[in-house]
Chains A and B, each alone.
Chain A
Amino acid sequence: MSMLRAIFSHSSGRIGGTIVVIYVVVALLGMFGVTPHNPLQQFRIDRLHAPNAVYWMGTDLFGRDVASRLMNGIGQSFLVAFCSVALATLAGTMLGLTAAWFGKAWDGIVMRIMDVLLAFPAILLALLIIAVVGPGTWTSVAAIAIVYTPIFTRVVRGPALSIKAREFVDAARTFGSSRRYILTRHLLLNLVAPLTVQVTLALAWSLLTEAGLSFLGLGTQPPASSLGLMLADSRNLMENAPWLLIFPAVAIMISILGFNLLGDALRDILDPKTRRSAP
């Protein structure tokens, strides 16, 4: 509760938190089909209709309701973003923790593999993975997860190394605490702060990457909707039907903005050192 209060008393945390909460609600509604219309239903008579009382955000080339598709698309984009970040966090945390704890050869192997993964620009690595596995929603999840795993590994390993050297860890060992207990209770719990910040910022990146991949036709496949796909479809129609471009574009911007603001706020709250110079 105190965390929530801290977020909502921080100016950008308040805005970011509100945006994220609204988006999560919209995403859930879109995912479970609670939309004004069926996102796949084609109202042929009302093709390319401008926004009105029936179709809040207009209709597309096939007469499908843009608002419903947008809600569904947000659901889809959030599903990919949350799943991929969850996977990256899990894998990165385990690799980072074990690398810090066991050190020596294991640390060397893990960190060199992470160096190799970091030697690729993120989007290129994602494209390489998609080239191998073939496009699709779950491929995007895997691709984005693999791209961000090294970042989480590094975020965890550094602090874990310094916590490992602290007296209370030695004390826990002397008391006979098991390795698992020390790793989860002493190391992991102390890493919650940097991890929370990283997860929030990673959600912003993965939304961005997912939108990019599906824009290129390499992510979610039609007829399912996703924000990037809606933008790709709007390209040839934007002059006559600008609502097809504007609504998904603004939806992507605001969702990423929400996570960025929240991430910045969390960084300020959880790490008092950066508070003075936080951008």
Chain B
Amino acid sequence: MSYLARRLLTFPLVMLGVSILVFVAIRLVPGDAITAMLGTEAGLLTPAQRTALSAYFGIDKPILVQYWSWLLGVLQGDLGISVIHGKPALTIILERFPLTLQLALMSMCVALLVGLPAGVFAATRNEKMSDLAVRIFAMIGQSTPNFVVGLLIIYALSAGFGILPTMGEFTPLFTDPLRNLGQMILPAITLGFAFAASVTRISRSAMLDVLSDDYVRTARSKGVPKRSVIWRHALPNALIPVVTLSGVEFGYLLGGAVLVEQIYALPGLGRLVLEAILQRDYALVQGCVLFIAFNFMVVNLLVDLAYVTLDPRIRLGEGN
């Protein structure tokens, strides 16, 4: 069976596994679901009310029956009702998702715009001082947690320029694009920082590999200008690992940058998960986790497909 077919076939299986894991995990929460939902107020319920509630939510049935009806609901887009918000979990998730998507796209732009040129630059100056400087920066960038970057940026702005990033009220992109971009640029730089460092490192090493290939030497000896050798001949081949890395990172970012959204008070998906956990809104936790894992897997699948398209050796079954 080809790599592609196997990859496509395992996708629904893994997704089923993910749904089982999420379902079981939430059922492992100590105490029963009614207490989890109502908190201390559950103590006020009479046994009859408790039984009625259990029957209403279907938690008096065997676990397999519960899972089956939950799964059928999920397949129809019913992720349950959030206790805190009093709305369907999917509705809340879809409200928060555009921000997370925008943040992920913007930080990917930051990472590629900084990382790719830096990596190519370092590779062409292999083992020189400028290469070393880029490598040191990349290493430091990769070792700095994004919330530390965020805190340091906020501190630098407030101490150096006496300004604080606008927080609290968030403006959606289509309401006021300029204001929105103003609010999003610092979080995007924060998130893109370590990502840019990874892109730098991987594009540098991929570029070094390609630059020592025979076809590049041939191009050079034919007298092709250096710039053209690097950007036209070498870079496209060096891009394959960069595409993979960016895709995987993008998948992570779509999962909501919990810490960065928290620091900049952005109402995105990551912060939603955190709020749901802290407020013990289990239907919402379950919905968010499932939604994020689904996105993450779809992105990873697309990355694999892109990889196969870019590198025919895998399609032919050699690189697997």
Residues 129 to 148 of chain B near chain A (Cβ within 8 Å): 135, 138-140, 142-145, 147-148
A104-129 interface with B by 8 A CB criterion: 112-113, 115-117, 119-124, 127-129
A208→B145 contact, CB < 8 A: yes
Q: Which residue of A lies closest to B300 (CB)?
A: A119
Q: B259: CB under 8 A from chain A?
A: yes
CB–CB A132/B151 < 8 A: no
SS class, residues of chain B in contact with chain A? helix
Interface residues of A in 128-153 (CB under 8 A from B): 128-132, 134
The 8 A CB mask of A205-244 against B (1 = contact, 0 = none) is 0001001100111100000000000010011001100100
Say yes or no: A127-B205 contact (C-beta < 8 A), given A115-B14, A121-B292, A234-B151.
Answer: no
Residues of A near B30 (CB, < 8 A) are: 134
Cα distance A177–B228 when bound, in Å? 59
Residues from chain A with Cβ under 8 Å of B252 in the complex = 121-122
Q: Report if A120-B201 is in contact (Cβ < 8 Å); known contacts: A216-B274, A253-B143, A253-B148.
A: no
Instruction: Name A207's closest neighbour in chain B (CB-CB).
Output: B145
The answer to whether B21 and A121 have CB atoms under 8 Å apart is no
Are A253 and B140 CB-contacts (below 8 A) given A121-B251, A124-B292, A131-B277?
Answer: yes
Number of A residues with CB within 8 Å of any CB on chain B: 47
Per a CB cutoff under 8 Å, which of A120, A215, A216, A260 touches B289? A120
Residue in A128, A131, A257, A264 whose CB lies within 8 Å of B140: A257
Q: Is the CB of B145 within 8 A of A128?
A: no
Distance (whole angstroms) from the CB of A195 to the closest CB of chain B: 22
Taking CB atoms and an 8 Å cut-off, the chain B residues in 215-248 that contact chain A are none
Residues of B255-296 whose CB lies within 8 A of A: 255-256, 258-259, 262-263, 273-274, 277-278, 282, 285, 289, 292-293, 296
Expressed in whole angstroms, the Cα–Cα distance for A20 and B145 within the complex equals 18
CB of B154 within 8 A of CB of A238, answer yes
B297 interface residue per 8 A CB criterion:
yes
Known contacts A121-B255, A121-B293; 16 additional CB pairs below 8 A are A12-B139, A116-B18, A119-B15, A124-B256, A124-B293, A132-B28, A211-B145, A212-B259, A216-B274, A235-B151, A238-B155, A245-B155, A249-B152, A256-B145, A257-B139, A279-B135
Q: Which residues of B contact A162 (CB under 8 A)?
A: none
Interface flags for A249-264 (1: CB within 8 Å of B; 0: not) read 1001110110011001
Chain A contacts for B154, CB-based, 8 A? 238
List B residues at the A interface (Cβ < 8 Å).
Answer: 10, 13-15, 17-18, 21-22, 25-26, 28-30, 135, 138-140, 142-145, 147-148, 151-152, 154-155, 158-159, 201-202, 204-205, 208-209, 212, 251-252, 255-256, 258-259, 262-263, 273-274, 277-278, 282, 285, 289, 292-293, 296-297
Complexed CA–CA distance, A123 and B251 (Å): 12
Q: How far is the CA of A6 from the CA of B204 in the complex (A)?
A: 25
Known A116-B17, A132-B28, A279-B201: A215·B158 in contact at CB below 8 Å: no
A interface, over-half SS: helix
Contact across chains for B28 and A119 when beta carbons are under 8 A apart: no
Question: Are A260 and B277 touching (Cβ within 8 A)?
Answer: no
A12 to B139, CA, bound (A): 10
User: A120–B258 contact, CB under 8 A?
Assistant: no
Chain A residues with CB below 8 A from B273, complex form: 124, 127
**Cβ contact within 8 Å between B21 and A215:** no
Q: Is A239 within 8 A of B159, CB to CB? A: yes
Residues in B neighbouring A277, C-beta threshold 8 A: 205, 208-209
Per-residue 0/1 for A58-99: is the Cβ within 8 Å of any B Cβ (1 yes, 0 no)? 000000000000000000000000000000000000000000
Q: Which residues of A contact B148 (CB under 8 A)?
A: 211, 231, 249, 252-253
Task: Please list 23 pairs of residues, one from A and one from B, whose beta carbons are closer than 8 Å in the complex, sorted by A's number.
Answer: A112-B13, A112-B17, A115-B17, A120-B289, A121-B293, A123-B258, A123-B259, A124-B292, A127-B274, A128-B22, A131-B29, A132-B25, A132-B26, A211-B145, A231-B151, A238-B154, A245-B151, A245-B155, A249-B148, A253-B143, A276-B208, A278-B205, A279-B135
Contact residues in A for B258 (Cβ distance below 8 Å): 123-124, 127, 212, 216
Q: Give me the 3 closest cross-chain CB pairs, A-B, nearest first.
A: A116-B17, A121-B255, A257-B143
Q: Is A187 an interface residue (CB 8 A)?
A: no
CB closest residue in chain A, given B142:
A260
| Complex CA distance for A242 and B258, rounded to whole angstroms | 24
Residue of B nearest to A249 (CB): B148
Shortest A247–chain B CB gap in Å is 12
Pairwise interchain contact B259-A215, C-beta atoms closer than 8 A: yes
B259 close to A216 (CB less than 8 A) = yes
* Of A127, A239, A260, the contact of B143 (CB 8 Å cutoff): A260
Inter-chain contact B145/A252, CB cutoff 8 Å = yes
Residues of A within 8 A of B293 (CB): 119-121, 124
Other-chain contact of B255, A123, A218, A231 (Cβ < 8 Å) = A123
CA distance A134 to B31 in the complex (A): 12
How long is the Cα–Cα vector from A204 to B194 in the complex, in angstroms? 14
Residues of the A chain whose Cβ atoms lie less than 8 Å from the Cβ of B159: 238-239, 242
Q: Is the CB of B14 within 8 A of A112?
A: yes
